[in-house]
Amino acid sequence: MSRTLTKKIIDIGGVHLNGRRVRQCGLKVAVGDKVEIFIDGFSLKYFRITEDAVLYQDKYIIAINKPSLIESQPTPARYKGTIYEALLLWLQDPFRPQLKPSLGMVQRLDRDTSGVMVFSVHPHSHKSLTDIFTTRQVRKSYLALISGCPDKKMGEFESLLAKNRATNKIKSVSKGGKLATTKYKIINQFDDCALVEVHIPTGRTHQIRVHFAEAGHPLVGDTKYGYHETMLKFPVQRTMLHSWQLEFLHPVTKKNIQLVAPVAHDMYQVLLFLGWDNDNISTN
């Protein structure tokens, strides 16, 4: 491993010394110290928020259109280059750099998933905003490109979901899981796949991906839950899932907030390739 690569891994937070993340080179280690190097295999470039990614911002909350292929929050392998870290930089007051922004996560999107993400940016709004999400006072709408096409134009999946420790996947179980409800409506049917609008009253990990996979329609690009490249005639780089719309009452002002995230460019290009000609879904 080269010195340049090692420095980059340290810079993004991928080296831990005795269980604690190390953010500087040249630290001395002693006999018995435990050094761990985490490499996630993704780009070592930092991610930065730009103004066009911000969907809404006031003194209490901020909403962004998350790009695909970016982690939502720090992981053992990566501290920098995440949405969370990029937002900290975006919110930093240049005239008071010693003050760390009060940024709170209330939801998470998978690395592959693009679209609306909301954060609290004030101590007085974090608990209230968190409660809105945990008590399901938010309407969530996703766009998903699924392989094949369901028989019904509209439908609903409901099951108990739990994690299989052996495979590290989520699956439906008969007991002991958490209730998940997924409602869908077909927007457009193509030759080998379909674009669906999905509403999730619940917010379980991977629930959209699992429910469609178990119904025989894994999301396009979702190799973890059964999608195979041979299913379609074109290659995709990630799971075709987009957090499209969020609607909720502002945690402080109580006004109705409606957020819509333009579809990510890569997903839009796939839709155009399939023959999509509807302008109701905008792209960034």
Q: Is residue 283 part of a domain?
A: no
| Same domain (yes/no): 15, 136 | no
> pLDDT by residue (tens digit) across 41-90?
555 466 788 899 999 999 999 999 999 988 886 655 445 568 888 888 88
Q: How far apart are CA 129 and CA 92, in angstroms?
A: 21
**Residue 197 pLDDT grade (very low, low, confident, very high; cuts 50, 70, 90):** very high
Structural domain for 136, as ranges? 40-274
| Same domain (yes/no): 32, 60 | no
| Same domain (yes/no): 6, 64 | no
Query: In the prediction, which pLDDT does 34 show?
Result: 75
Enumerate residues 6+ apart whose C-beta is below 8 A from 181: 156, 157, 158, 200, 201, 202
Residues paired with residue 252 on neighbouring β-strands, in sequence order:
none
Model pTM?
Answer: 0.81
Under a CB-based contact definition with an 8 Å cutoff, are residues 17 and 38 in contact?
Answer: no
Q: Is residue 184 part of a domain?
A: yes
The structural domain count of the chain equals: 2
Q: Is residue 284 part of a domain?
A: no
| Same domain (yes/no): 240, 260 | yes
Specify the DSSP class assigned to residue 264.
Answer: P
Average the pLDDT over 92-99 and give the result. Answer: 71
| Same domain (yes/no): 28, 54 | no
266 carries an active-site annotation:
no
- For residue 252, the SS3 value is coil
Q: Is residue 200 part of a domain?
A: yes
Q: Report the candidate in 231, 238, 223, 232 with the shortest Cα–Cα distance to residue 275.
A: 232
Q: CATH code at 200? A: 3.30.2350.10
Q: How far apart are CA 87 and CA 62, in angstroms?
A: 9
Which residue out of 40, 52, 110, 277 is catalytically annotated? 110
Query: In the prediction, which pLDDT does 78 show?
Result: 47
Q: CATH code at 7? A: 3.10.290.10
| Same domain (yes/no): 187, 150 | yes
